[in-house]
Amino acid sequence: GAVVSQHPSRVICKSGTSVKIECRSLDFQATTMFWYRQFPKQSLMLMATSNEGSKATYEQGVEKDKFLINHASLTLSTLTVTSAHPEDSSFYICSAPPGGLNGGYTFGSGTRLTVV
């Protein structure tokens, strides 16, 4: 079935640095990728939607300049957390919309970001 490969799975960075998270669709093309954020013991919240060949759309309250999203090809979407701060520490998950026979969304394995 469709698989989304997300890297890194875990990253620790210093305040003020930038971190790039990659999501690759394996064996299928993802024209759209959803980026979610999950705080401890809370649900997934949509941050933005990346679209291949066009600008990403951001949810209300999400800073575009802080969370840079690029959908460079039909198989790669990236989220860059710029000038990271401790409050950006969270679990980030990407997801591709249904394309397979089971109709389910495909999720990356998530990235645990810790900013120190």
Give the pair of three-digit tokens for residue 71: 């959908």
| Contact code string over 76-105 relative to another protein, x by CB under 8 A | -----------------x-x-x----xxxx
Is residue 107 at the binding interface for another protein, with CB under 8 A as the rule?
Answer: yes
Half-sphere exposure (CA, 13 Å, Cβ side) for 95? 18
d(CA 116, CA 14): 5
* Min dist. Cβ of residue 88 to another protein (A): 20
Exactly one of 15, 17, 18, 109 binds another protein (CB under 8 A); which one? 109
Is residue 8 at the binding interface for another protein, with CB under 8 A as the rule?
Answer: no
Span of 16-24, 28-36, 68-76, 80-88 interacting with another protein by CB under 8 A: 28-36
DSSP label at 41?
T
d(CA 52, CA 74): 6
d(CA 97, CA 18): 27
Under rule CB under 8 A, which residues in 40-69 are in contact with another protein?
A: 41-46, 49, 51
- CA-angle at 89, arms to 85 and 92, nearest 5°: 125
Contact set with another protein (CB under 8 A): 31-32, 34, 41-46, 49, 51, 93, 95, 97, 102-105, 107-110
